[in-house]
Amino acid sequence: MKYIGRFAPSPSGPLHFGSLVTAVASYLQAKSKNGLWHVRIEDIDPPREFNGAAEDILNTLLTYQLQWDGELVYQSQQTKRYQRILNYLQENDFSYYCQCTRKIIKQQGGFYLGGCKNKHLLKNNNAQRINLSRLDIAIDHFHDQLHGRINTPINDDFIIKRKDGLYAYNLAVVLDDINQNITEIVRGADLIETTTKQLSLYKILDKPAPTYLHLPLVITASGKKLSKQNKAQAISKINAPETLCRALTFLGQNPPQSLSSKSCLKILHWAVIHWNLNKIPKKNEIQS
């Protein structure tokens, strides 16, 4: 099977250094295997998005010579397919509607206890949850390409469509990865705990699951994750070669100092040839 990877940023802000690390690693993992590298804009949460962010992210990728294969995919254009699958899940008792609020769940200790599973609620103003009791075996671990076996808590019945009508990340990301035939997902370690949730959807939909590779997160000196929510600074479009070499260094690839004076195209050419997964630090967080 041909290797197909992807980079899937959300347009909630500009591309920061942590996002660049993920983009570079996913690109190199794909190209080192003579595979394809897709880019998908995950724009299904309008309240968190900024006007022009998607275009800025794409322009930044091109500045760094991170050229994607095939057509761009926007999640906001996939909603009919999401709804079709949601209807299938509901009709086949793989999901149910839930009226529990965050306040109620917090009062129950922070975990959803399945209180609405047998209430047979209607769709009206309710969230839709996956019914994991339909699975033969609970998924509580997976194999990571970098870290090996990772054990996670057994999942509760997580939300697949929100009360406000927005499609949940765990649903959309799985359906898009299936639709694009993604064979491996390279992303940050902050998403490790979502993995078994997503694997349960692959199992329910009877689709082959991809492999996973979770990268160490870039954190600040104060210990905060470098993220758009934490107002991380946009990476430079002017000093792109130097920043690209920094990303390779963060990933343990040890580029020669002379490489930072080359073009991004030449740096990536070197990086594809020398890409070594075993050099990536097996950590969840690294200070930038």
| Digit-coded pLDDT (tens) for 226-270 | 555 556 688 989 999 999 999 999 999 999 999 999 999 999 999
Distance CA 255, CA 244 (A): 10
Distance CA 85, CA 173 (A): 13
266 and 155 housed in the same domain: no
> How many CA within 13 A on the CB side of residue 236?
11
Helix (H) or strand (E) segment spanning residue 40: strand 36-41
57-102: per-residue pLDDT in tens?
Answer: 999 999 999 999 999 999 999 999 999 999 999 999 999 999 998 8
Where on the phi/psi map is residue 206: left (φ > 0), alpha (ψ -120 to 50), or beta? left
Rounded to the nearest angstrom, the gap between the alpha carbon of residue 242 and the centroid of all alpha carbons in its chain is 26
242 and 191 housed in the same domain: yes
Residue 226 is predicted with a pLDDT of 58
Instruction: Please report which confidence band the pLDDT of residue 136 belongs to, taking 50, 70 and 90 as the band edges.
Output: confident
Domain count across the chain? 2
Distance CA 133, CA 243 (A): 47
Q: Is 128 a member of any domain?
A: yes
192 and 121 housed in the same domain: no
Q: In what order do the strands lie in the sheet with 73-74?
A: 4-7, 36-41, 73-74
What separation, in Å, do the N-terminal and C-terminal C-alpha atoms of the chain show? 36
Summary mean pLDDT of the chain = 93
201 and 283 housed in the same domain: yes
184 and 226 housed in the same domain: yes
| Domain with 103 in it | 80-141+149-161
Q: Is 166 a member of any domain?
A: no
